[in-house]
Structure 1
Amino acid sequence: MTNPLHTLSAEGVAVWLDDISRDRLRSGNLQELITDRSLVGVTSNPTIFDKALKESDAYDDQLRDLAARNVSVDEAVRFITGYDIRWAADILRPTYESTGRIDGRVSLEVDPRLARDTERTAAEARALWWMVDRPNVFIKIPATAEGLPAITRALAEGVNVNVTLIFSLDSYRGVMDAFMAGLEQARENGHDISRIQSVASFFVSRVDAEVDKRLEKIGTDEANALMGRAAIANARLAYEAYEQAFATDRWKALADAGATPQRPLWASTGVKDPAYDDTRYIDQLVAPGTVNTMPEATLEAAADHAKITGDTVRGAYEQARQDLEAVASLGIDYDDVTATLENEGVDKFAKSWEGLLGRVSEQLKAHS
């Protein structure tokens, strides 16, 4: 029987894993997923690294060396995460080459405490890009108002960027504009823009979690009927915006110079509500030229029983609009929902980073 992930890949959706650990790398598990699960990319975040450090002794030798060198906690985090990202990038390098430099990608996040600081975000992105020194790495920068100019600046300098924390359609349009501006500047700066890649991480399940909470509070039959429909509608309309942006004369000029589009990446695809089917954000967001980055549990669920029936996005734009309009008609403010989610996302990522710093600090002391 065909693995649904193979079918998903054949539909033009790149399968990525939202997880990394040194145990996964040294055990050969990442290579197994590449072979058996059609995996072509990896994303990471501070919570993932914190969990990896908590659950494994694979970092002990490096922690002892870092403690002996008396490096700061911030630098230790860069060394530890950079080590894993480089290793994963090397494992995925054949995929990078075989897909014409499109996939085989690994993402590393800029310190999320800098999300509201353009200058420091841009500087940190440059530093991480230099430190990891792999062409198939993405540096993750948030789609905050302050992050957008940092995204443009990084791309203009030839840095591959994974734009994270996108919730609203307006924000996504701003991200695509920042991407094209970055490529235009990169071309002016003499870079080969065919070698610059980017993805735009559009968050999915968190939208349902927030909207459903508000619908539940309303509590009417009409509100209950709309539960679980906002996130998929939002993502489908994001893909429509993507099609529109990359059909412009502005994009054609860049494409003629060798550029490839910034792919939409569906992030936060593990369901938050156990009442929902565990592959709903896989099955219902199938569209060519996209990426779906999945937690391991979602990846395995998709491999087991995802129902891939072809493109489930491009024929559903009108229904998506109707779903969001119906939610709005009940007094739920779309802009407030997405602003709330962005602010919460920045705060949660920053707290996760603080947690990672605390974990590394404790382990440095334990190994000194």
Structure 2
Amino acid sequence: MNENTRALSDAGVSIWLDDLSRQRITSGNLAELIAERDVVGVTTNPTIFANAIAAGESYEAAVQELAASGAEVDEVITALTTEDVAQACDLFADVYASTGGVDGRVSIEVEPGLARDTEGTIAQAAMLHERVGRENVLIKIPATQEGLEAIAATTAAGMSVNVTLIFSLDRYRDVINAYLTGLERAQQAGHDLSKIHSVASFFVSRVDTEIDKRLDAIGTEEATALRGKAGIANARLAYRVWLEAFSTERALTLLEAGANTQRPLWASTGVKDPALPDTLYVTELVAPQTVNTMPEKTLEAVADHGRIAGDAIAGTFEEAEAVLDALEAVGVSYTEVVELLETEGLEKFDASWGELVQTVREHMSPAGAQA
């Protein structure tokens, strides 16, 4: 066991890997990361599956078999991705049991094209949950305005949800409200609240990438001094939102009835700016009851040289507020940035879904199989 990843776990952070492929499962790599890097969960998205299937010979036989049976491309994608997630869920079965369902979780996302379609999202969430067929699956739903009711409805049906693509504090408050609403409906429907879990994926590095670009364009000393600070500040204030929201009478009533808190999950934690420390979005966001989902490169950087010095969020809220105020003062609009990032995030997922469809379609053809 690595001492740095163990220190991170001991500080209350659940380490989840932001990647999955059939090769990673069958080679024993994922089991190795569970054993040696304290990895207790996995997140996936369309980009991850597009890359996995494009590069992975381990999918060829399954694709050809499905194609021969007459399956359409969307059916092939569903079959491949749900099988990968189910196998990963099985690898995490012991973690799931030992943590009472808190960890040992594997996420699978609804199709990006449904992000603005409430009813379509609800229907596909139920389908994915049934197809994976494992208690420890998390259904990943984007935190669009239309996604909020889908989050509530899916939770109300007794399913566990990973809410993704959260950039703003206001939208995060909406997400927590949707989760609590779902729990209240689930309780009324007679579901066991203790079986329902959720995480809220708050994105970090993309905030810095967009804001730092704007700070560079402004070019003043005050502006450049703020580079690399917005993502951490925003996430720390999100943690305060979580603390406040789950201290309300409404939330406490549900928790006393057996419900679980919806943990903050730090997503987009791979550092994009080479001028910043490659472990920045891990070491600076250590706090109890959080999840940090990392690409393997970031995980290995933490294992190699990450300095974990306990809670890095407590006592930082005033400083974080000052950063966001300073950004507005130099001319960077927080509201404009977070709205743009949500739009771009959906566009990127749509693009990667298109690549996934094209890749699978090519592999389904006899010429593609021979290639």
In the superposition, the TM-score normalised over structure 1's length comes to 0.99
Q: Would the aligned equivalents of 2:2 and 2:37 in 1 still touch at CA under 8 Å?
A: no
* 1:17 alignment partner in structure 2: 17
5+ residue gaps, structure 2: none
User: Aligned equivalents of 2:94 and 2:13: distance in 1?
Assistant: 19
* 2:252 alignment partner in structure 1: 252
Aligned to 2:228, the other structure's residue is in SS state coil
Q: Which residues of 2 match residues 193-208 of structure 1 at below 5 A?
A: 193-208=193-208
User: Aligned equivalents of 1:351 and 1:54: distance in 2?
Assistant: 14
Counting aligned pairs with the same residue, the percent is 55
5+ residue gaps, structure 1: none
Q: Would the aligned equivalents of 1:3 and 1:304 in 2 still touch at CA under 8 Å?
A: no
User: Aligned equivalents of 1:191 and 1:357: distance in 2?
Assistant: 37
Q: Which residues of 2 match residues 89-238 of structure 1 at below 5 A?
A: 89-238=89-238
1:19-55 per-position Cα deviation (integer Å, ceiling 9, x unaligned): 0011110011111000000000000111111111122
Higher mean Cα deviation, 234-243 or 48-57?
48-57
Aligned to 1:146, the other structure's residue is in SS state helix
User: Aligned equivalents of 1:73 and 1:88: distance in 2?
Assistant: 23
User: Aligned equivalents of 1:3 and 1:49: distance in 2?
Assistant: 31
Letter in 2 for 1:238: A
User: Aligned equivalents of 2:245 and 2:112: distance in 1?
Assistant: 28
Q: CA deviation at 1:331?
A: 1.4
Aligned to 1:59, the other structure's residue is in SS state helix
Aligned to 2:58, the other structure's residue is in SS state coil
User: Aligned equivalents of 1:189 and 1:322: distance in 2?
Assistant: 44
1:203-244 per-position Cα deviation (integer Å, ceiling 9, x unaligned): 000000010011000000110100000000000000000000
Aligned to 2:258, the other structure's residue is in SS state coil
User: Aligned equivalents of 2:72 and 2:142: distance in 1?
Assistant: 25
User: Aligned equivalents of 1:152 and 1:291: distance in 2?
Assistant: 21
Q: CA deviation at 1:333?
A: 0.9
User: Aligned equivalents of 1:133 and 1:83: distance in 2?
Assistant: 10
Aligned to 2:20, the other structure's residue is in SS state coil
User: Aligned equivalents of 1:191 and 1:26: distance in 2?
Assistant: 35
Q: CA deviation at 1:70?
A: 1.4
Letter in 2 for 1:293: T
Q: CA deviation at 1:332?
A: 1.0
Letter in 1 for 2:309: T
Letter in 2 for 1:167: F
Letter in 2 for 1:237: L
Aligned to 2:311, the other structure's residue is in SS state coil
Q: CA deviation at 1:2?
A: 5.7
Q: Would the aligned equivalents of 1:199 and 1:265 in 2 still touch at CA under 8 Å?
A: yes
Backbone CA RMSD of aligned residues: 1.0
Aligned to 2:266, the other structure's residue is in SS state strand
Aligned to 2:287, the other structure's residue is in SS state coil
* 2:278 alignment partner in structure 1: 278
Aligned to 1:165, the other structure's residue is in SS state strand
Q: CA deviation at 1:126?
A: 0.7
Segments of 4+ moved more than 4 angstroms? none
1:308-361 per-position Cα deviation (integer Å, ceiling 9, x unaligned): 001011210000000110001111111100000000001111111111111111
* 2:331 alignment partner in structure 1: 331
Q: CA deviation at 1:135?
A: 0.3
Whether 2:320 is the aligned partner of 1:314: answer no
Q: Would the aligned equivalents of 1:105 and 1:137 in 2 still touch at CA under 8 Å?
A: yes
User: Aligned equivalents of 1:241 and 1:16: distance in 2?
Assistant: 22
How many residues align? The count is 368
Q: Would the aligned equivalents of 1:160 and 1:198 in 2 still touch at CA under 8 Å?
A: yes
User: Aligned equivalents of 2:340 and 2:60: distance in 1?
Assistant: 39
Q: CA deviation at 1:367?
A: 3.7
Q: CA deviation at 1:113?
A: 0.9
Q: Would the aligned equivalents of 2:115 and 2:142 in 1 still touch at CA under 8 Å?
A: yes
Q: 1:219 to 1:129 in 2, by over 3 A?
A: same
